[in-house]
Chain A
């Protein structure tokens, strides 16, 4: 099992604030995905990053893949209550067939 650590584990912020979630590992991944999951539902894919150093933007969300492809970050600008949920990173092995999830970050945005 390839361990992916996310930090922070829990985050509660006011609407309009910015935040960053980190996903770190000692292993190299061929790609890394970020998901958001709401209670009672399956994870929904937000983005996939493949190239070391890659930055992708999805509206107010900015994702970065580390140069060595061992870590990633998710930055949310001007958080909204609709951003509340469990954020999960998942790394894919070199074959691309196995994915291992990070420990998760539970975000609550207070109106």
Chain B
């Protein structure tokens, strides 16, 4: 089945230690998104890639970076995680154009010690 895969499902890191979360998709969608979701809150868009074009949200901290080496894969790099960065990180994909739909991965739960 076509899907969005996130690895790992659970990630533990130490304060200030860089961490990378990964996302892959078999849907061949040209748009990929990263969201941060904290407990009992709605997902917050961090950035998205339209093909290779990177689109950062204005309020996304510089501590968060992303890479998309090809259509299938997208990475979220947190350069120096703080305690406030502990959250669920959701990857999603969509095809471009009006009326398009997003499909989400299962998320990676990040814990910062």
Residues of A within 8 A of B (CB): 1, 30-31, 33, 35, 40-45, 48, 50, 88, 90, 92, 94-104, 106
Contact = CB atoms under 8 A, between A and B. Distances in A.
A40 B107 CA distance: 8
Interface of B: 4, 6, 31, 33, 35, 40-45, 48, 50, 55, 57-59, 88, 90, 92, 94, 96-107, 109
A30 B96 CA distance: 12
B106 A42 contact: yes
Contacts of A99: 33, 45, 92, 94, 102
Contacts, number: 78
B98 A94 contact: yes
Contacts of B105: 42
A98 B59 CA distance: 15
Contact of A92 (B58, B100, B109): B100
12 contacts: A31-B98, A42-B6, A42-B92, A42-B104, A48-B99, A50-B98, A88-B43, A95-B98, A97-B100, A98-B48, A99-B45, A99-B92
B21 to A, nearest CB: 13
B99 A97 contact: no
Contact of A45 (B40, B58, B103): B103
